[in-house]
Each structure stands twice: as structure tokens, then as C-alpha cells.
Amino acid sequence: MPHPLLEVSGLGVEFRTRRGVARVLEDVSFALPRAGTLGLVGESGCGKSITALAAMRLIPQPPGRITAGRVLLEGRDLLALPEAQMRAIRGDRMSMIFQEPMTSLNPAYTVGDQIAEAVIEHQHAGRREALSRATEMLDAVGIPAAARRVHDYPHQFSGGMRQRVMIAMALACKPDVLIADEPTTALDVTVQAQIFDLISELRERTGTAVILITHDMGAIAEMADRVAVMYAGRVVEEGAAVDVLERPLHPYTQGLIACAPGRRQHAPGQPLVEIPGTVPSLLERRGGCAFADRCAQVQPRCRDRLPAETVFGEGERRVLCWLHAADQRVAA
């Protein structure tokens, strides 16, 4: 079987803090096929962004440390590469865009220079060539009068426009993987849709695979082929986006979907649905399922230990919950 484009398996990350060791990722696995889109969803603090940073090897260490697992880009383990080779991959084969377009661009340079920088660094292009590539990219991400705007500074762009610039920068070297970490959280709702459309369009045009990190189930429904739901540092459910959204198996996924306003069950005037409680502190991790305290379908054994992952078909669907544990389907 050929390698998927990007394969993360058994990834573990911990942070040493003054109050102890926080195991922020445990046994995180997923695969991203070429030109596919994987959605990573979950509440704040569940480890989505850390997963992305770990895959790019951008976890600040110390205090962070990757303790286990592999990140395979076309079969090559990125975690085993020397830093210099990893730097050559960042921005060239894999790139990333961040939540805050307002502060993600360097205020001291024109946007053209910033996009060109990556092209010069990774593709050893001349400055003139790199700048014309920057203009092309600005045009591709829908910035009007790109040839003139390429000489403008970041503060002369609006938030949505800056996120477009970030996307142009991230895609300038035609990477294989684009990680978009909540790319629209800081933007207006109307602009959000534009940015999602832009990412989809560019993915189709360039064949760049996308990891979309979000807590917006609507965006997942629109954008993703596959989705991995994360809770307290673990992937609790993974599968084709349609399946997961239509038939969520894990109670946490069910909760997330029920919470998304404007979908099915919710009528105007009714209070918004919420999952009671908050994500538990990773410092006081006990045995068992981290979601047990918030779960409506909790069983005694949930608090003791986690079940083995239940895999359906040839790995098309995975879930980590006693309700679906292979050996005991019927609740005890």
C-alpha cells in the first residue's frame, strides 16, 4: 500500500510546567491523503493546535517535548530529521496559516517582500522572479490590483485581506500540505465564508492537501473529506466527514454537533445547546475516559480505563468509547 501524503501515528506531546507535567497529546493518529482535506475539531484546549505545531516540529522545547509517535511525510519521518532539513521542509513542502492575520505579518516589510522571502529561501529564485511570483500569488488569492498592492505594507490591508496574504505566502512554494489553524476565527462572518471558499478553490487548483483546524462544524461539513474529533489530547472519533456529521458515534461528537447553532434541532428563541462542564485540566489526568465527567451516557467502567479503539471497516471509521467497544456492544 502506498504511503498517504501525511501520516501521524501515536503522537504524544507533554509540557513541563511548574505544577507538573501536562500530557497534552496522547496517541494521536490520523492520515491525510494527497489533495484531501482533514478537519481537526474540538473545543479550545483539546490539542488541535499542538497537533499541528508538533507535525511541523514547531513545539517550543522546552517546555514542550514530543514523547512518542511519528509524523511521516511521504513515508519520511519528520521527527527524525535534523533541524536544518526540517527548516527546508517548512514553508516549502508544509506550511501553516494562523488564527490572527492582524499580527501574523511582519509590519516592517511590504507583503510582496514577505511572500518573496519564502520563494527566495526555498526555491533559490532571484528577487525579481520571486516578486513576480508574489504578485501572481496575491492575484490568485483575490487581492485586487495585485501588482500595486505587492508594494504595500501589512497595516494597509484589512483583516480578511491579510489572511489572504498569509494564504498567498503559505502557498507561494506550492506546498503539499497546508495547515490552517482556525484561519477565520478573527474575521467577520462574511469574510469567513470567502476565506473558506478561497482555500477550497486553491486546494482544487493546486492539489495541496489541507488540515483545517476549527471548532466550526459548519466549516467541516463544507470543507472536509475526513474529520478527526479531539478531546483532551486524544482523537476520540475519526472518519469520513459525512459519516461523522450524520451519525456521530462518540457522545462528545454528538454534543459538538448538537451545539452548532443553526443546525437541525435548533429553533429561534430557544437557548443554545451546550455540553455541561469544561475540558479537564491535563495536569490531573486520571485513568479512564477524560470525557466521563461531562458525558450523559457515562458508565462505571468509563472512569477506570479507556477501551481499545474500535475500528470499522478498513479503518474508515474509528471511535474511542465503551459504547462502541468491539467486544461489548451492549452496555453493561
Partner 1 sequence: MSSVQPPSGAPAATASPAAAAVEALSPWREGWRVFRANKAAIAGLAMLVLIVGAMVLGPAWYGVAAMDIAAGPFTPPFTDAKVWLGTDYLGRDVLAGLLIGGRATVLVGLAAAAVAVSIGITLGALAGFFGGWVDALLSRVVELFQVLPALLFAMVLVTLFSPSLAVVVFAIGLVAWTGTARLARAEFMRLRGMEFAAAARAMGAGPLRLMLREILPNALPPLIVSASLIIGAAILFEAGLSFLGLSDPNVMSWGLMIGSNRRNILECWWGVTFPGAAIFLTVLSVSLVGDGLNDALNPKLHLR
CB of 178 vs partner 1, minimal distance in Å: 11
Closest CB to partner 1 among residues 59, 321: 59
* H-type alpha helices, the chain: 48-55, 83-89, 111-123, 127-140, 146-149, 159-171, 189-206, 217-223, 241-246, 251-259
CA dihedral over 261, 265, 268, 269, signed as positive or negative: negative
91 forms part of the interface with partner 1 (CB under 8 A): yes
165 forms part of the interface with partner 1 (CB under 8 A): no
94 membership: H or E segment, kind and range: strand 94-97
Q: Which of 105, 116, 198, 321 binds partner 1 (CB under 8 A)?
A: 105
Contacting range for partner 1; rule: CB under 8 A; set: 84-92, 210-218, 237-245, 283-291: 84-92
Give me the residues paired with residue 166 across strands: none
Q: For residues 56-75, which are near partner 1 according to CB under 8 A? A: 56, 58, 62
Length of the chain: 332
How open is the CA angle 230-40-298, to the nearest 5 degrees?
Answer: 25
CB of 106 vs partner 1, minimal distance in Å: 4
Q: Which of 109, 129, 254, 259 binds partner 1 (CB under 8 A)?
A: 109
278 forms part of the interface with partner 1 (CB under 8 A): no
Q: Which of 117, 176, 237, 238 binds partner 1 (CB under 8 A)?
A: 117
6 forms part of the interface with partner 1 (CB under 8 A): no
108 forms part of the interface with partner 1 (CB under 8 A): yes
Residue 27: alpha-carbon gap to chain centroid: 16
89 forms part of the interface with partner 1 (CB under 8 A): yes
Whole-number Å distance between alpha carbons of 70 and 73: 10
308 three-state secondary structure:
coil
CB of 32 vs partner 1, minimal distance in Å: 17
Whole-number Å distance between alpha carbons of 165 and 132: 15
Whole-number Å distance between alpha carbons of 277 and 282: 15
Contacting range for partner 1; rule: CB under 8 A; set: 72-80, 113-121, 233-241, 261-269: 113-121
155 forms part of the interface with partner 1 (CB under 8 A): yes
For 51, 93, 229, 237, the CA distances from 46, given in Å and listed in that order, are 10, 26, 9, 13
Closest CB to partner 1 among residues 24, 256: 24
Closest CB to partner 1 among residues 107, 313: 107
- Size of residue set near partner 1 by CB under 8 A: 33
Interface contacts to partner 1, rule CB under 8 A: 56, 58, 62, 84, 87-92, 95-98, 100, 103-109, 117-118, 121-122, 152-153, 155-156, 166, 169-170
